[in-house]
Amino acid sequence: MSPKISVWISNSVFISFIVISLLYSLVHFENSYLKSETLTLSTEKNRSFAIVQELSRVKNQFPIAYQCHYSFGLSNGSLYEITERIPYSIYKRLRLGDTIEVYKKEIRIFGRQTAISQIRGNEEPLPLLENLERYFLYGFIYLLALVGITSIFRVLGLLSRTYPSQQKPVVTDEIVANKVQD
């Protein structure tokens, strides 16, 4: 491999590492903001009402899990829909078209207006950005290892060019015979 290709590869690894670390930090800070907003969700000022649109059982899930799809209005007049995991105790009480009490809060995530909500009495955790954060964390660790490996190869390559081998030339019988004849 020529030296220019290896430098190109290591530079692309460094740039990829920088991009992934920026994306990871962005997702990490948004997820921590979302967690802090979720902790203050269950207050009386956030209480509102929503209409049940759909009730379903999550397939291929053990233990059996249920979902409730409901909608409510935002402050700008638009309708917002949310799907939430619920325990069986809430599932057996609900019917399609029922009005349910929810805690809702309008927030901005990644610069986009959205809302988070939770049915009153539901203790299931809200789906946050944890999977996305974990994905970028694994990418960050993988590229950190690649940066380490490419740094080692670059340093060893630079050292071999800067300090060439000091091995003595091998003297063969022909060279000695030529010098004796001269």
Instruction: Summarize the confidence of residues 40-55 as an average pLDDT.
Output: 89
Tally of domains within the chain: 2
Classify residue 57: in a domain, yes or no.
yes
- Report DSSP state, residue 19: H
Please write the tens of the pLDDT for every residue from 116-159.
899 988 888 777 788 888 999 999 999 889 888 888 877 777 66
For position 65, which CATH number holds?
Answer: 2.40.50
Q: 121 and 167, same structural domain?
A: no
Straight-line distance from the first to the last Cα atom of the chain, in angstroms, rounded to the nearest whole number: 42
Q: Which domain holds residue 80?
A: 42-125
Q: Give CA–CA dist 107/182, Å, rounded.
A: 92
CA nearest 122: which of 92, 171, 155, 89?
89
Residue 153 included in any domain: yes
Let me know if residue 54 belongs to a domain. yes
Number of other residues whose CB lies within 10 A of the CB of residue 96: 10
Can you point out the beta strands (E) in the chain? 47-57, 66-73, 79-86, 99-109, 112-119
Whether 170 shows a pLDDT value over 80: the answer reads: no
Task: Report the pLDDT value the prediction gives residue 53, as an integer from 0 to 100.
Answer: 92
Averaged pLDDT of the chain: 82
Whether residues 87 and 144 share a domain: the answer is: no
Is residue 30 included in any domain, yes or no?
no
Q: Classify residue 14: in a domain, yes or no.
A: yes
